[in-house]
Amino acid sequence: MQGPATAYGSAFSRAVEVVGPGWKRLLVSGTASIDKSGYTSHPNSIKKQVQTTMRVVDALLQSRGMCAGNIVRAIAYSPREEYSHWFNEWAKRNWPFEASVLLGCADICRKELLFEIELDAVAWMAEQNE
């Protein structure tokens, strides 16, 4: 879906997993509709950018054995307030619960990016018998 950000000249980590005794937390940095080469996917479509971005988020969650139900904090950004309904519609169709997501109106790092989301997810791990 997306390659490492360092492969296209950015210096950030897509996500970091922190593991503690009996829990793990996934910190997903600002994720947007960017292809493997670092170019913006679907530069003129907020709907397709939301879909692409959330496929990346779902893949990151699944790679750590998590799902949307593990999300404990999320902030989504769009440069125009009226774009927020595209994420809300996506969430209604794809998440089995009403997610608590702060939707902010803000500039994103590229003019052609219309949606970005950052989030944290937490999972409790079963105790292992020794």
Q: What's the CA gap between 15 and 93, in Å, rounded?
A: 25
83 part of a folded domain:
yes
**Residue 9 binned pLDDT confidence (cut-offs 50, 70, 90):** low
Residue 129 lies in a domain: no
pLDDT in tens, 62-90: 999 999 999 999 999 999 999 999 999 99
Q: What is the mean pLDDT of the chain?
A: 87
Contact call for residues 81 and 87 (beta carbons, < 8 A): no
- Mean pLDDT of the region 11-35: 90
77 within 8 A of 115, measured Cβ to Cβ? yes
The domain that contains 89 carries what CATH number?
Answer: 3.30.1330.40
Answer whether residue 21 is part of any domain: yes
Residue 5 reports pLDDT greater than 80: no
- DSSP, collapsed to helix, strand or coil, labels residue 103 as strand
Does the pTM exceed 0.75? yes
Q: What is the pLDDT of residue 129?
A: 46
